[in-house]
Structure 1
Amino acid sequence: MKDTCTNNKQLNIVVLTGAGVSTDSGIPDFRGKEGVWNKEGNPEAIITRSYFMGYPKLFWAQYKELFKEKLTMNHQPNRVHELVKELETVGKVTVLTQNIDSLHQLAGSEHVLEMHGSYQTASCPKCKLAYDVNHINSNDIPRCTRINKKGNVCNFILKPDVVLFGDTIRHWKEAEAVLESADLCLILGTSLRVKPFNTLPELAKDNGARLVFINNEGTEFDELMDEIHLGHIDEGLERVLQAFKNDEERDMWK
């Protein structure tokens, strides 16, 4: 692979990723048959900021049940995560992800913005101190154990570091900034149904980026794309990486 384009300008690559990127790691798509939103009851009414604020103890009991597999299983990065990391040999890569599993970081990606947060940690709304998944799993109702100057334990109930319904999406300004200078925007494993994340491809396009969509199915935004690869995400991403190795094809990414 080449480190720069033919004009010696470093490629700025932004990768937008969704649930389809992590399914091969054993994590079901939220909206799939085995996904969180298809579990019994009304999960979308539970995973809300208002429910957490009003009933934090009940929230945690139901949150842990809904996310039991994610919180207790040792999921590992798959080939797609590895290929996204490999893109760093081509140019400067920033990952903007809807996923809350932190597998991009585990695969070694250096610049990741988790737009919907992460279930790997929970933080104290009062002290802002973050705790890892081991602390979350070892307590029915995870609380802050920070000791203040007077020797008192905070004991505030933690809030999971995922974006709940009613929360503001994270890192929006940073996402806008990286898309302003993007040469190439890869869109992987997302149906682009969730707002405002689904507005990011158009923002990239407006700033002159080439859009390459790779997923097992299309979306309502297909006409916006410059290139579409339908099928297995790893195979489509392999083809994109191969294009960088071809001297005759590199010019199209400038």
Structure 2
Amino acid sequence: MKSLIQLTEMIESASTITVLTGAGVSTASGIPDFRSANGLWSEDRSREYYMSNRYFSEDPVDFWKKYKEIFRIKLLKDFEPNPVHYFLRDLEKLEKRIYVITQNVDGLHKAAFSSDIIEYHGSLDTATCPSCGTSMTLERILAEETPRCFRDECRVIVRPDVVLFGDPITKHGQAEVCVQSSELLLTMGTSLQVSPFNLLPEYAVYDVHIPTAIINREETVMDSLFDCKVFGDLSETVQLLNHKLF
């Protein structure tokens, strides 16, 4: 496959790579893709309303009930990193600096021990008290139907450390800094439908002027931005890349 050979050469020639990852990276771990054509978000648009900062403010008790229902699969933490996560970690063994900027909130890049991770949309692993700032672990979150700050003098309902609909994105500038210092932007497993995350490939092309590549199961509306495009199963693709790179 010509595109796979081209991608291999691009990875080999870059000492610093920024990798953008989306839900497609985690599907091989058994976690559904919420935004693909057949993803869970297409089944019930009301989830965007319930997973908003507005709804948390209006009814935090029911918010937590629906939050745990919607993310029940991820919150069970029964999933492990798959070959795609480990491929990105193993690229570091080639003495490359790999920045992983992920839309995923499942924590699997951390579980695979990648060194530099920006969880662009936050993480399911923790929650924070909006009153006193106390952090709560996932174990405590799961222990209560409606998680509250464990400080006796507080007991305020905590807020999950994920970016809810209506929240500002706070890590975009940090992500741009990673792109600025890179020699390649590699996008994996994302439909690039969510803004401002989908502005990062444009930033790489028009502002930083670095090569770009995408690996995805299906075409995206932003494919024209990429110098190299590989379409197909991500796990199969990284297996082929492993044979060529290691």
Deviations 1:50-88 (A, max 9, x none): 110111111111111111111124110000000010111
Once the two structures are superposed, residues 105-160 of structure 1 have per-residue CA deviations (whole angstroms, 9 ceiling, x without a partner) of 100101100001111111111222221211111101101112xxxxx431011101
**How many residues get paired?**
235
Are residue 194 (structure 1) and residue 198 (structure 2) matched?
no
Q: Percent identity?
A: 41
Which residue identity is paired with 2:21? T
1:141 equivalent in structure 2: 146
Equivalent residue letter for 2:205: K
Indicate whether 1:122 and 2:127 are aligned.
Answer: yes
Residue 154, structure 1, aligned to residue 154, structure 2: yes
* Matched letter for residue 120 of structure 1: D
Confirm or deny: 8 A CA contact 2:185 2:201 kept in the other structure.
Answer: yes
Local SS of the residue matching 2:57:
helix
Deviations 1:5-43 (A, max 9, x none): 78xxx7111000000000011100112477442455711
With 196-205 and 98-107 compared, the bigger mean Cα shift is at 196-205
Unaligned residue ranges in structure 2 (runs of 5+): 1-10
Look up the match of 1:30: 34
Secondary structure of the residue aligned to 1:112 is strand
Q: CA deviation at 1:242?
A: 5.4
Structure with greater Cα Rg: 1
Contact 2:16 2:181 in 1 (8 A): yes
Is the CA contact (8 Å cut-off) linking 1:214 and 1:237 kept in structure 2? no
Unaligned runs of 5+ in 1: 147-151, 246-254
Which of 76, 80, 99 in structure 1 is aligned with 2:80? 76
The ranges of structure 1 where at least 4 consecutive aligned residues each deviate by more than 3 angstroms after the TM superposition are 32-36, 38-41, 237-245
Q: AA paired with 2:139?
A: N
TM-score, with normalisation over the residues of structure 2?
A: 0.88
Residue pair 1:87, 1:241 contacting (<8 A) in 2 also: no
SS at match of 2:150: coil
> Which letter maps to 1:107?
A
Distance of aligned partners of 1:5 and 1:231 in 2 relative to their CA distance in 1, 3 Å threshold: closer
1:232 and 2:226 equivalent? Answer: no
**Cα distance change on mapping 1:41 and 1:5 into 2, 3 Å:** closer
> What is the CA–CA distance in structure 2 between the aligned matches of 1:185 and 1:41, rounded to whole Å?
31
Whole-angstrom distance in 1 between the partners of 2:67 and 2:172: 25
Does the residue aligned with 1:88 lie in a helix, a strand or coil? helix
* Counterpart residue number, 2:110: 105
Give distance in 1, aligned partners of 2:210 and 2:46. Answer: 39
Deviation at 1:238, TM superposition (A): 4.2
| Contact residue 82 and residue 107 of structure 1 kept, 8 A | yes
Deviation at 1:204, TM superposition (A): 1.3
- Other structure's SS at 1:86 match: helix
The aligned residue for residue 43 of structure 1 is 47
Candidates 56, 66, 69, aligned match of 2:60: 56
Q: Give the TM-score normalised by the residue count of structure 1.
A: 0.86
Classify the secondary structure of the residue corresponding to 2:157.
coil
Answer 1 or 2: which has greater helix percent: 2
Task: Give, in whole Å, the separation in 2 of the partners of 1:41 and 1:238.
Answer: 35
CA RMSD of aligned residues (A): 2.2
Partner of 2:209: 208
Q: Are residues 5 and 21 of structure 1, via their aligned partners in 2, closer, same or farther at CA, if it must alter by over 3 Å?
A: closer
1:18 counterpart = 2:19:
no
Task: Report the Cα distance in structure 1 between the residues aligned to 2:194 and 2:73, rounded to whole angstroms.
Answer: 23
